Amino acid sequence: MINFQYLRTTSAKSALALLQKDKNAKFIAGGTNLIDLMKRGVTSPEKLIDINHVPLRQIELVGHNIIIGALASNTNVAENKLIKEKLPLLAMALNAGASAQLRNVATVGGNMMQRTRCGYFYDTEMPCNKREPGSGCGAIGGFNRMHAIFGTSDKCIAVHPSDMCVALTALDAVVVIANAKGERKLLFKDFHRLPGDTPQLDNNLKADEMIIRLEIPANNLAAHSHYLKVRDRASYAFALVSVAAAVEISDNKIKDVRLAMGGVAHKPWRLTASEDFLKGKEANAQNFEQAASLAMSGAKGFGENDFKLAMSPNSIIEALNLATAKV
167 near 92, Cβ under 8 Å?
yes
Residue 124 binds other proteins, judged by CB under 8 A? no
* 40 near other proteins (CB under 8 A): yes
Q: Using the rule CB under 8 A, is 9 a contact of other proteins?
A: yes
- The residue from 12, 42, 48, 68 that contacts other proteins (CB under 8 A) is 48
If binding is defined by CB under 8 A, does position 123 make contact with other proteins? no
Position 187, amino acid: L
User: Which stretch, 4-12, 80-88, 171-179, 208-216, contacts other proteins (CB under 8 A)?
Assistant: 4-12
- Minimum distance from residue 295 beta carbon to other proteins (Å): 29
> What is the smallest separation between the CB atom of 104 and other proteins, expressed in angstroms?
5
Q: Which is nearer to other proteins, 119 or 313 (CB)?
A: 119
CA 264/CA 312 separation, integer angstroms: 8
Region class of 290: left (phi > 0), else alpha (psi between -120 and 50), else beta: alpha
Nearest to 39 by CA among 129, 133, 122, 126: 122
Give, as ranges, the residues between 61 and 120 that touch other proteins (CB under 8 A): 75, 98-102, 104-105
Listing DSSP states for 179-209 in one string gives ETTEEEEEEGGGTB---TT-TT--BS--TT-
C-alpha to C-alpha distance for 302 and 305, rounded to whole angstroms: 6
Q: Is 41 in the site for other proteins (CB under 8 A)?
A: no
State which residue, 40 or 326, has the beta carbon closest to other proteins. 40
Q: According to CB under 8 A, which residues from 230 to 249 bind other proteins?
A: 234-236
Whole-number Cα distances in Å, 326 to 176, 207, 244, 251: 33, 43, 14, 16
* Residue 32 near other proteins by CB under 8 A: yes
CA dist 22 and 266 (Å) reads: 28
Summarize as ranges the residues that interact with other proteins (CB under 8 A): 1-11, 14, 18, 28, 31-32, 35-36, 39-40, 48, 50, 52, 75, 98-102, 104-105, 234-236
